[in-house]
Amino acid sequence: MDVSKFLSKILSTAWFYQPQKLIAYGSFIKGLMDGTIKFEEIKLPLGAYAISPTGDKMMLYDSEEINDNSKPASIFDRFPENSTLIIPLKDIMFKEDDWWDWGTVTIASYIREAADHDNINAIIIETDSGGGTVDSIFPIVDAILYAKTKKPVIAWADTAASAAYYSIAATDLIIASNNISSEFGSIGVMVSFMDIAPMWEKQGVKFHTIYAPESNFKNLAWENALKGDYKLMMEEVLSPLAQKFQADVREFRAGKVDITQKGILNGRMFYANDAIKYGLADEMGNLDYAVKRASQLAAKRNK
């Protein structure tokens, strides 16, 4: 298996992610790099499903798995009217599909299709993620904002941190799944990188980097950071992302989030009760409760 694309995403992409979760992936990434970890290319099913008005659960299968002779115009055609779609946003968020999981572009496409389909009355985004790459956020947010113009969109979450929280902040309602492990926040940006040049220099390797005189600002933040000067990295790379993150949470959760609470827009995490108290989440309940609330919002909208 060629893991170069995967490693490129991991090692060279900007992230909104909980650092403790990234650290946990360290040994896995090292194993991929040195070849000690090998496995087959297996992509798990998307895991989306619909709940019918009678409570029946129907799995959402990819259109490729439906016989070409009987493939419907939409994958949602076979669901009963007034069904609620539950679509997962879990684990590490990436923009594009790869061999191990579905990207947010694909997830967003299902959200949009469900929003346009008469058989779906509401959409629940089942969330359990510490975040992901910065470029994975826009497809989900854009799809949620589009879907909200058509029908209710709810987040039902265990963990929603960093990029995952950024994504679901745009929903109509955020429901914590429980009062034990559910947590929300990590509204912040960081960068962590390794300078391996000293190791190679001890082995006699010399590094040469040459820029055109006309390119004196090219990669300057990174070049300075490698020398221990982080000022430009913070000002030109991290702060703009952090400020945009904060501004969007303020907008999406306007009138709900208590921005006076210490750390709420600065990276702090809150368990469910406090997240509800300070406006990062709205309510608490199990999936049955989330489906009930989605149906209530749909009925209210359709009056």
Give 207: exposed, middle or buried? Use CB within 10 Å, 0-12, 13-18, 19+. exposed
Measured CA to CA in angstroms, residue 299 lies from 82, 121, 242 at distances of: 10, 9, 37
For residue 302, what pLDDT band results from cuts at 50, 70 and 90? confident
Domain residue spans of the chain:
4-189+256-302
Closest to 282 (Cα-Cα) out of 171, 197, 127: 171
Instruction: Choose the most confident range, by mean pLDDT, from 13-17, 62-66, 115-119.
Output: 115-119
How much is the average pLDDT of 17-28? 55
When mean pLDDT is compared across 41-50, 88-97, 231-240, the lowest value belongs to 41-50
Q: Report domain 4-189+256-302's class.
A: alpha beta
Residue 1: predicted pLDDT: 45
* Residue 70 clears pLDDT 70, i.e. is over it: no
Q: What are phi and psi of 151, to 5 degrees?
A: -160, 165
How much is the average pLDDT of 6-24? 54
Closest to 41 (Cα-Cα) out of 111, 118, 100: 100
Tokens 């694909």 belong to: 106
For residue 164, what pLDDT band results from cuts at 50, 70 and 90? very high
DSSP letter at 124 equals E
Residue 66: predicted pLDDT: 44
Q: Cβ neighbours of residue 88 under 8 Å, at least 6 residues apart? A: 46, 47, 48, 107, 125, 126, 127, 128
Residue 188: predicted pLDDT: 86
* Residue 282 clears pLDDT 90, i.e. is over it: yes
How much is the average pLDDT of 183-204? 86
State the alpha helices, DSSP H only, in 74-215.
104-116, 137-148, 163-168, 197-201
